[in-house]
Amino acid sequence: MSRDLLENPSGTREEILAATLESLCEHGYADLTIDKIGDEFEKSQSLIYHHYDGKDDLVLETLEYVLEEYRTGSLEMEVEDPREKLEKVITEPLEETISDKERKSLATLFELRTRAIHNDAYREHFTRSDEVFEEFIVDIIEEGNEKGVFRACNPVGVAATVTTVTNGALVRRSTSDSDDWIADVRDEVESYLEKCVYAE
């Protein structure tokens, strides 16, 4: 949920979403208000009320925008080799060190994800988010199979496993004071890929 995605908004809608994302990452969901979003928005706050009914409408549209940007960016990934592509997708969420800003963004994302427990709109979004991530991994694995660099495996099962591990890392990083465990998790994921996905 990088703030950079909306660094150069091209119109009023994107300016509002950029203000929402910045305010959301700064204050978290629980303390987010339209007034705080308005503080990040350079135009009249009345425009926010004109386009959106409340903060959940704003947050959900911002999440959808970020998801679409991720999906588009993934499709345009410059890396050609399926193995390099898969490693890039997996290692980024499991990087050994992250900045305080990144940690805060992860914590906000986890906070939003917990809303899916009791809110259908958030549940639909995060279900779709997982599906987008998994479909991207499935495409990489199928490409690797076609090129003979991956062994025969269950692409859907691998994608579900990787998604579950990265989501677990999100939860733990959001609620733990230490990242001492992350290198071991990454090593185990790489070992799993070596044994179950990559061709010998």
* Residue in the block written with tokens 């990454």: 186
Q: How confident is the model at residue 138 (pLDDT cuts 50, 70, 90)?
A: very high
CA nearest to 153, candidates 86, 73, 80, 78: 86
Fold exhibited by the domain 1-76: Arc Repressor Mutant, subunit A (1.10.10)
Question: 43 or 14: which carries more pLDDT confidence?
Answer: 14
pLDDT single digits (tens) 141-172? 999 999 999 999 999 999 999 999 999 998 99
Question: 43 or 193: which carries more pLDDT confidence?
Answer: 193
Per-residue pLDDT at 6: 53
Per-residue pLDDT at 11: 75
pLDDT single digits (tens) 97-122? 888 888 888 889 999 999 999 999 99
Cα angle at 82 between 72 and 6, to 5 degrees? 25
Per-residue pLDDT at 3: 46
CA–CA dist 70, 63 (Å, integer): 10
Q: Which two tokens stand for residue 7?
A: 């660094």
Beta carbons of 121 and 63 less than 8 angstroms apart: no
Domain with CATH 1.10.10.60 in the chain: 1-76
What is residue 157's DSSP assignment?
A: H
DSSP 46-110: HHHHHH-SSHHHHHHHHHHHHHHHHHHHHHT----SHHHHHHHHHHTTT-S---HHHHHHHHHHH
Per-residue pLDDT at 193: 95
Q: What's the CATH code, domain 79-200?
A: 1.10.357.10
Domain with CATH 1.10.357.10 in the chain: 79-200
Residue 198 has phi, psi (to 5 degrees) of -70, 140
User: How far, in whole angstroms, is CA 64 from its chain's centroid?
Assistant: 11
Per-residue pLDDT at 83: 94
pLDDT single digits (tens) 40-86? 887 777 778 777 888 899 999 999 988 988 888 766 667 789 999 99
CA diameter of the chain: 61
CA–CA dist 126, 168 (Å, integer): 14
